[in-house]
Amino acid sequence: MSGTYLGLPSFPAAAREATRDGQLRANLRHATHTIRSKRATAISELTDWPQLRAAGAAIKDHTLRHLDHYLLQLEEAVTAAGGTVHWATDADDANRIITALVHATGHTEVVKVKSMTTQETGLNHALAHAGITAYETDLAELIVQLGNDLPSHILVPAIHKNRTEIRDIFTREMTHWGRPAPDNLTDNPTDLAEAARLHLREKFLTAKVAISGANFMIAETGTLAVLESEGNGRMCLTLPDTLITLAGIEKVIPTWQDLEVFLQTLPRSSTAERMNPYTTLWTGTTPHNGPRTFHLVLLDNGRTDTLADTTGRQALRCIRCSACLNVCPVYERTGGHAYGTPYPGPIGAILTPQLHGTTTPLDASLPYASTLCGACYDVCPVAIDIPDILTHLRERITQGGPTTRQGQKTTIKPAKRHRLEHTTMRTTRWTLQHPTALHHAQKLATHTRKLHPKNPPGTTTKAWTTTRNLPQIPPTTFRQWWQQHQKQTTQPTQHTQQAPHTEKAQPAHNTEQNELTPQTPQTPQNGKSEKGQQNEKGGRQQ
Amino acid sequence: MRVALFLTCVNDLLYPDTGRAVVTLLERLGVEVDFPAGQTCCGQAHYNTGYRHEAEPLVRRHAEVFAGYDYVVAPSGSCVAMVRENYPRMAERAAAEGRDSGRGLAAAAAAAVPQTYELTEFLVDVLGVTDVGAYFPHTVTYHPSCHGLRMLGLGDRPRRLLQAVRGLELRELPGAQECCGFGGTFAVKNPDVSAAMGQDKIDNARSTGAQVLCGADNSCLMHLDGMISRQNTPLRAVHLAEILASTQEHPYQTPETAGKIR
């Protein structure tokens, strides 16, 4: 895997490669299953989880509805605290602003922490192009950078690597970036961590410029927050003279009190911890303490277009916890690279096509990278209905329709490569609307059942029959049986003879504990089920 | 009580035994069952693949066909979830786009939604039975399909029904709540991932030593059984309804297209 997202194939092709990589699948399976079960335990400790989830969704929705107000409030507060705010409409814009800011310091090396948004804009490449070297300091990001690789997970970017692979990367690559790995480095986690610590410490103590992301931005005070586990972020955020933060505009929340909700839901959802080890909060600049210069670059890059979509906009609630990745059976088999962008897994499958648009083959394939099993929605701490947005985006791809690109309302056409599928869907819909035609087709299928080839031609059937047998068509449809059955049951003599399938139950076995006797079914009031059952149906309630 | 069987399109042609089992079972429990002949499909395949507009006529048809029944019962959590979750959603969207007159989709959704029940819900919640007098002398492991599990919240209803079957030994399926990889058109749009997921499900089922992999949605079972029969694995995928319909006098019979339960 080279260190670029450009030119990646569409999801099914990338997924084919990934599913054949046994080591990758074993690494992913182990990691996702471990964190998944730990998370379930951490969530179960809180009795008010559903309320926290609803509160998080409500805070985000409120902020998004009044985004213009809160962003201006944020800008005012950051400026008043001694910071400078920059507005970037797209990735190039953001990279240009940040490159110019680093150039202005006169330094050519920067340390970086906690910023998926810089992955989204491709900042490291832009900096390298301008003669500036960026050092990733988050341990997993370091592994990815040293391995000339790409992050595969939102929270655990090196999830796809096991410790032996990491040892090999450290031994081979560290020397090209700074302090070499110790001789005879083992794959013991403690030794690996020590090697990274020694390597990174040199960077922290010499760097004059740092670039970070932000988990939250508090509009009322202009305070930014980064949550992390290693303390490397704390180093980046406090040691250098200049701090530049790049954050998507959706990261703003109104007040300090709102932060309370996310400080509970984010760590539990992501690392399964009650509280993350390091929470760093900073407000502008403070004399004799921390960075002397602070810049905040606010990035749009498709976010206001996403906000214009009434169904898809809830994707902007995302707090990047990665719980949806860890439960996703598709992600578990493919890893993050198959998604071709910094945002993998279920959230990536809905966020990327909204930020980018659905016109490239990769973007158009992402909404189909899901079985709609719903596990992602169940775990989402801000209740993003990912399956619903997936079907909504599929509709945009197959049927076209109104959307917003670069602030302009536009109507997109159905994707060309779905033309055949569209014809099939229209034909099947017509048949399903005309039962007589359907029944004739069914009859034909059952009459010719002996003639059906085991592996019929066509790419769709091939996709099925490569690993599976097609079901064999039985000699009669249910309808045909039903007609016979009805004739039998409507003849009075048949009733007295008690045809096997119509006789009322007389269980022949031990009936002591048998609840079943032929009984008059209870008919609950209003045709609804008993109230007591409602709790069990709460799976999709928010 | 007038109960209509909503058989779902996959069952009608490919798995008629499941439909027969539902009729046999409900009639044994004293329920008068009707099969409205005009039914075809709930439109789920169209809707989930991104053809919402194409699915809308099927919503109207579905509501018309099942109008007037006290209950509509289907042996498929996925199709019931389509009716209960997505019909109202489709009506809302059509109205927001100014395409629904108010008498169309919204009325269809309102008519279809309240009385549509998944089979195990109907048995446990409406009829109030968990022991349906079945006999099935095999070891069974149960896969709860995603839409029944998450969209309908079926909970332990299917397992309670299975546990009451005489002769049946229920074995816990590791990773039961994970998707089997079918996902409608996902199975052909992403065949490699689908197969990888299906294989894990089958491996988990085999690890229990069970003879039968039971599910309550024939489309998931079609995907899994397709892999099982390709691999000649000593495991059979059987719909829950067929197990519940089986008695000592009229035991479950494998379809002529399949082998015996080993």
* pLDDT digits 0-9 by tens, B148-162: 999 999 999 999 999
In this predicted structure, what is the pLDDT of residue A156?
87
Does A76 reach chain B within 8 Å, measured CB to CB?
no
Q: Does residue A249 register a pLDDT over 60?
A: yes
What secondary structure, in 3-state letters, does B129-151 show?
Answer: CCCCCCECCCEEEECCCHHHHHH
Does A520 reach chain B within 8 Å, measured CB to CB?
yes
A142-163 burial code (b ≥16 CB/10 A, e <16): bbbbbbebbbbbbbbbbbbbbe
In this predicted structure, what is the pLDDT of residue A520?
41
Percent of chain A with pLDDT over 90: 68
Q: Which of residues 191-230 of A touch B (CB under 8 A)?
A: none
pLDDT digits (tens, 9 = 90+) for A49-92: 999 999 999 999 999 999 999 999 999 999 999 999 999 999 99
pLDDT digits (tens, 9 = 90+) for A471-515: 888 888 898 899 999 888 776 544 433 333 433 333 334 333 333
- Cα A246 from Cα A297, distance rounded (Å): 5
CA-wise closest residue to A43 among A436, A380, A537: A380
Beta carbons of B36 and B65 less than 8 angstroms apart: yes
Number of cross-chain residue pairs from A and B with Cβ atoms under 8 Å apart: 297
In this predicted structure, what is the pLDDT of residue A379?
97
CA-nearest residue to B46 within chain A is: A425
Residues of chain A positioned with their CB less than 8 A from the CB of B166: 507, 509-510
In this predicted structure, what is the pLDDT of residue B56?
92
Residues of chain B positioned with their CB less than 8 A from the CB of A329: 178-179, 181, 197
Q: Does residue A272 register a pLDDT over 80?
A: yes
CB contact under 8 A, B71 and A433: no
**Tokens representing A285?**
């600049």
User: What is each CA distance from B99 to A140, A345, B94, B110, B203, in whole angstroms?
Assistant: 50, 34, 5, 17, 48
Q: Can you tell me the mean pLDDT for A229-239?
A: 93
- Cα A158 from Cα A171, distance rounded (Å): 16
Which of A339-353, A524-538, B90-104 shows the lowest mean pLDDT across its residues?
A524-538
Q: Can you tell me the mean pLDDT for A192-220?
A: 96
| Bridging pattern class, strands A278-283 and A242-248 | unpaired
Q: Can you tell me the mean pLDDT for A426-443?
A: 81
CA-wise closest residue to B242 among B20, B7, B79: B20
In this predicted structure, what is the pLDDT of residue A526?
40
Q: Does residue A355 register a pLDDT over 80?
A: yes
In this predicted structure, what is the pLDDT of residue B108?
85
| Bridging pattern class, strands A408-412 and A401-405 | antiparallel
> Closest partner residue to B51 among A378, A425, A520, by Cβ?
A425
Does B136 reach chain A within 8 Å, measured CB to CB?
no
- Cα A59 from Cα A316, distance rounded (Å): 12
Q: Does residue A455 register a pLDDT over 80?
A: no
pLDDT digits (tens, 9 = 90+) for A192-205: 999 999 999 999 99
User: What is each CA distance from B226 to A487, B160, B235, in whole angstroms?
Assistant: 35, 28, 12
Q: Can you tell me the mean pLDDT for A146-168?
A: 91
In this predicted structure, what is the pLDDT of residue A159?
87
Residues of chain B positioned with their CB less than 8 A from the CB of A478: 7, 11-13, 16, 19-20, 35
| Bridging pattern class, strands A278-283 and A223-228 | antiparallel
- Cα A146 from Cα A140, distance rounded (Å): 10
pTM, whole model, 2 decimals?
0.90
Task: Indicate which of B193, B202, B223 best probes the interface with A, i.e. most A CBs within 10 Å of its own CB.
Answer: B193
Does A21 reach chain B within 8 Å, measured CB to CB?
no
Does A436 reach chain B within 8 Å, measured CB to CB?
no
Query: pLDDT class for A465, splitting at 50, 70, 90?
Result: confident
- Low-confidence residues of chain B, pLDDT below 70? 101-103, 256-257
In this predicted structure, what is the pLDDT of residue A482?
92
Does B251 reach chain A within 8 Å, measured CB to CB?
no
CB contact under 8 A, A391 and B47: yes
Q: Does residue A541 register a pLDDT over 70?
A: no
In this predicted structure, what is the pLDDT of residue A492?
55
CA-nearest residue to B85 within chain A is: A540
Query: What ipTM does the predicted assembly reach?
Result: 0.95
Classified as helix, coil or strand, A286 is strand
**Tokens representing A272?**
């399964």
CB contact under 8 A, B150 and A433: no
The distance of B16 to chain A (nearest Cα, Å) reads 4
**Site of tokens 């035994």:** B17
Q: Does residue A251 register a pLDDT over 90?
A: yes
Q: Does residue A535 register a pLDDT over 50?
A: no
Q: Which of residues 151-210 of B touch A (CB under 8 A)?
A: 151-155, 157, 164, 166, 177-179, 181-199
Mean pLDDT of chain A: 87
Q: Can you tell me the mean pLDDT for A335-342?
A: 92
- Cα A61 from Cα A48, distance rounded (Å): 20
Query: pLDDT class for A432, splitting at 50, 70, 90?
Result: confident
Does A490 reach chain B within 8 Å, measured CB to CB?
no
CB contact under 8 A, B183 and A372: yes
CB contact under 8 A, A471 and B130: no
